[in-house]
Amino acid sequence: MNTVKISGLGMVSPFGTDVGDTWRRISAGERAPLSQLTSTLSSRTFPYLAVPRESVREYERHPRLRRSSEISHYAAIAGMKALHDAGLDEKTGRIGVVFGISSGGVRYTTRFYHDIISTGAGTASPLLFPETVYNAPASHLAALLGLDGMSYTLVGDSMVGLSALSLGADLVGTGQLDHCVVVASEEAEWILCEAFRRSRFFTNSDETKPFGGPGNRGTVFSEGAAAVVLSRSGSIEIAGLHRGIPYFKSASAGVAMRSVLSELGEPPDVVLTGANGTRLDDAEAAALRAIWPAAETIHCKAALGESVGAGALQQTVLAAHLLRENGCERAGISAIGYNTLAAGAILQKRGRPE
């Protein structure tokens, strides 16, 4: 069976919208600057890593996107950059979209619900509600691409980008599509930080310390997007991709992660981990030590923060970029979602001898 290739990359992060520059700054040990989100229901503030506004203005005034929120803008930029990076355009035939998402358009969802309970159901805005639907960002991107075919939105946690990659690879690998734009996106909102805080995943510290050991204190929330174009030709092969193994108790996350890594085959040279400073890092670290002990680990979330819905696909984009830049021959991605699955993937340069 022909392997599915990655032919284009796009990314939006607190470092901007240039994949190469983002990688350079991560490699240099830079951290994106912190911003503050303030609860609209209390005076509590939350540190987070924001996408620089000036870097994402491109589609704000597009007729289809002018009423949408940042999650759709980030996705549009990442998706279109990946498409153009692949040498494709909106007129290319048989393109589909697979979208990975976590809480969706949470800014409008929060605002819409706040209006309902504050001023009554009769004042709820019909302009806001459609943007609260999980597949609204995918629909906007499909409109930009002029699609009339496949568009799937997958919802999940911080590993959902790998679920989306898996579904996209199935669509291209089975010949249902020639190309698939796989996108994942996240926008920050105080309610998410509050939810993470109450789940003890959040830190009010100004930094994320991946694999920090027993002192793991939590993660810093961030926002952004990532996109890859999957095709049957391209410079990067998806050599291994696991749909994931669920865990029902936190204590089982490590077992699930070990199984995933074992089933992915030959170890990679480098792993872009999903480590984010939370208690799940211990499970991921132990699994990597046991199954891929020689692989160098890179913790991109130390610099980028935890962008949840976008996180695993950002790892994937950075792994693919590393391969493109001849940083290694074979790059892995590992991710444990906070309440779903452990998943992983291996990318390698096309034509690499086995």
CB of 166 to another protein, least distance (A): 8
Residue 133 interacts with another protein (CB under 8 A): yes or no: yes
- The single residue among 38, 176, 204, 235 that binds another protein, judged by CB under 8 A, is 176
Residue 53 interacts with another protein (CB under 8 A): yes or no: no
The whole-angstrom separation of Cα 335 and Cα 205 is 23
Residue 174 interacts with another protein (CB under 8 A): yes or no: yes
Residue 170 interacts with another protein (CB under 8 A): yes or no: yes
3-class DSSP state of 237: strand
Which 8-state DSSP code applies to residue 59? Answer: T
Per CB under 8 A, which region of 21-29, 161-169, 285-293, 317-325 contacts another protein? 161-169
CA-angle at 148, arms to 143 and 153, nearest 5°? 70
Which 8-state DSSP code applies to residue 3? Answer: P
266 close to 353: Cβ distance less than 8 angstroms: no
Stretch 62-81 residues interacting with another protein (CB under 8 A): 64
Per CB under 8 A, which region of 179-187, 220-228, 240-248, 270-278 contacts another protein? 240-248
Residue 93 interacts with another protein (CB under 8 A): yes or no: no
At a CB cut-off of 8 Å and minimum separation 6, what does 333 contact? 162, 271, 272, 274, 312, 315, 316, 319, 344, 345, 346, 347
Residue 2 interacts with another protein (CB under 8 A): yes or no: no
- The single residue among 8, 10, 47, 244 that binds another protein, judged by CB under 8 A, is 244
Q: Which is nearer to another protein, 199 or 205 (CB)?
A: 199
46 close to 204: Cβ distance less than 8 angstroms: yes
Residue 248 interacts with another protein (CB under 8 A): yes or no: yes
Residue 290 interacts with another protein (CB under 8 A): yes or no: no
- The single residue among 27, 85, 150, 207 that binds another protein, judged by CB under 8 A, is 150
Return the CA Rg of the chain: 19
End-to-end CA distance of the chain: 16
Distance set, CA 214 to CA 182, 278, 280 (Å): 35, 10, 11
34 close to 48: Cβ distance less than 8 angstroms: yes
- The single residue among 92, 195, 217, 349 that binds another protein, judged by CB under 8 A, is 195
Alpha helices in the chain (DSSP H): 19-27, 70-85, 106-119, 129-132, 136-145, 160-173, 190-198, 253-263, 281-291, 301-304, 311-324
Residue 240 interacts with another protein (CB under 8 A): yes or no: no
Q: Which is nearer to another protein, 27 or 259 (CB)?
A: 259
Stretch 100-129 residues interacting with another protein (CB under 8 A): 101-102, 104, 109-110, 112-114, 116-117, 121, 124-126, 129
Stretch 199-218 residues interacting with another protein (CB under 8 A): 199-200
Residues near another protein, by CB under 8 A: 39, 41-42, 64, 101-102, 104, 109-110, 112-114, 116-117, 121, 124-126, 129-136, 138-139, 142-143, 146-157, 163, 166-167, 170, 173-176, 191, 194-196, 198-200, 242-246, 248, 339-341
